[in-house]
Structure 1
Amino acid sequence: MNRYLLAAAATLTATPALAHHPLGGLPMETFAHGALSGVGHPILGFDHLFFIAAMGIAALFTSARLTAPLAYVAAMVLGCAAAYAGLALPAVETVIVVSILAIGGVILSGRALSLAPALVLFAGFGLFHGAAFSGALSAQEGGAGASVLAGYLIFLAITQYAIAIGAQFVARTVLGATDASSVNARLAGAAVAGVGVFLALETLEGPIVAALTGA
């Protein structure tokens, strides 16, 4: 498990440099640009990637393993579009850290979620992950055109659903996690929770240093 946590921490150090530049910093001007950015952001943004994969594993042990992740996907698209339209959600980055801690804790507990709580959890956090994804659109000088927006949202949805289902496949066939109490499933939850702790400490580092130095 320590190896999982160390690997997760190492990959997260690259997040600030990579997460917002799937096009190498070039502006999005076409549907294809939006689509490429929609594919790249969930993969290069490791905070999102860990949550989505863990959400897929948590959904695996519900009564609707293939459709439950769609609650996250739908809410994520809604959150992204709403934030781009100017509807701001509070403390987005903080909630994303909480989402990783929460979903990791759910898997680590070894208890399967019933469907209704799972849908609420996935959708609730999906709104905030979507709001974070809107940053790529808002950063566009002059805003994103309709074709860019369509490509971005469509491929954000496809990519994240594929990650969730892919995580289920790995959990079942590679890790042999046949139920929520499986040791390997719980180890995956521990790794994700560890990532959440790392991000939480990273988030708190600035305020703590400022308080200690009186800056």
Structure 2
Amino acid sequence: MAILRSTSTQSTQSLNRLWAVVSLTGLSWLATTLPAMAHHPFGGKAPTNFVEGFLSGLGHPVIGLDHFIFVIAIGLIAARQARGIFVVAAFLLTAMLGTSLHLASVNLPASELVIAGSVVAFGAMLLFEKNLNLLMMVQLGAIAGLFHGYAYGEAVIGAEMAPILSYLAGFTLIQFGIAAVAQQIGRAILQRTPGQPTAIRFSGLAICAAGLVFLTTSLVG
């Protein structure tokens, strides 16, 4: 039995190290490619119909790596909360509100800096074992969603109502999917290794590193 427990522990440690290396290398590499990548699947052209709006909504949070990495972070954080789905829900709802504010010509200053800062902040939260309380996490998720959604609004300025609505549906659906997958991966890691697993900590480090690249890019851009 002792041998079996030792083998299981070694296996868990190996998986944690593998996840750590993959997340740190992958996210850092993605972040360094940011200046060369577009934030919109249609190259900045506003969608003209329902299908284009939906596809644009699906693509924007994936091609926009600052958004993509943040959604991974919020999914991993949700995995550590008993009711983490409320953090994700707050982010998704206020993201739609943020897009609406942009379309209504309401200005949210320094949005790119806040978005980059949100990546750094949520990555940093994954470095520590102690969680913030749920209400505070919901509030932070909501603030982040407002600014991420505001950035999404740029892609549909001038579009008709049908593509705007499908765009909102598209980016909400894809972000929910990404966050849900990250949450399930986080829970699987936490079930294998109680406390603050190395894999989660290194994921947070990788997310922080990516966020610092985004922040630097925003400051010098």
Residues 7-35 of structure 1, C-alpha deviation per residue, up to 9 Å, x if partnerless?
32322344344433313555411111100
Which of 43, 68, 79 is matched with 2:98 structurally? 79
Match of residue 8 from structure 1: 27
Identity %: 33
Which of 54, 67, 73 is matched with 2:73 structurally? 54
Q: Tell whether 2:209 aligns with 1:190.
A: no
RMSD of aligned alpha carbons = 1.9
Paired residue type of 1:95: V
Using structure 1 for the length normalisation, give the TM-score.
Answer: 0.85
Q: Is the 8 A contact 1:98 1:196 kept in 2?
A: yes
User: Secondary structure, in 3 states, of the residue corresponding to 2:127?
Assistant: helix
Match of residue 120 from structure 2: 101
Q: Separation in 2 of the partners of 1:51 and 1:6?
A: 16
* C-alpha deviation, 1:127, in angstroms: 0.4
Determine which structure has more spread, i.e. the larger CA radius of gyration: 2
Q: Tell whether 2:42 aligns with 1:23.
A: yes
Task: Name structure 1 gaps, 5 residues minimum.
Answer: 207-215
Q: Separation in 2 of the partners of 1:3 and 1:59?
A: 21
| Structural mapping, 1:111-190, within 5 Å | 111-138=130-157, 143-173=158-188, 176-178=189-191, 181-190=196-205
Q: Is the 8 A contact 1:58 1:113 kept in 2?
A: no
Q: Separation in 1 of the partners of 2:131 and 2:77?
A: 7
Paired residue type of 2:117: V
Task: Name structure 2 gaps, 5 residues minimum.
Answer: 1-19
Paired residue type of 1:70: A
Give the length in aligned residue pairs: 200
Residues 185-209 of structure 1, C-alpha deviation per residue, up to 9 Å, x if partnerless?
1111111011112222333345xxx
Q: Taking CA–CA contacts closer than 8 Å with sequence separation of 6 or more, which of the two structures ends up with the larger relative contact order?
A: 2
Q: Is the 8 A contact 2:45 2:155 kept in 1?
A: no
Using structure 2 for the length normalisation, give the TM-score.
Answer: 0.83
Q: Is the 8 A contact 2:99 2:153 kept in 1?
A: yes
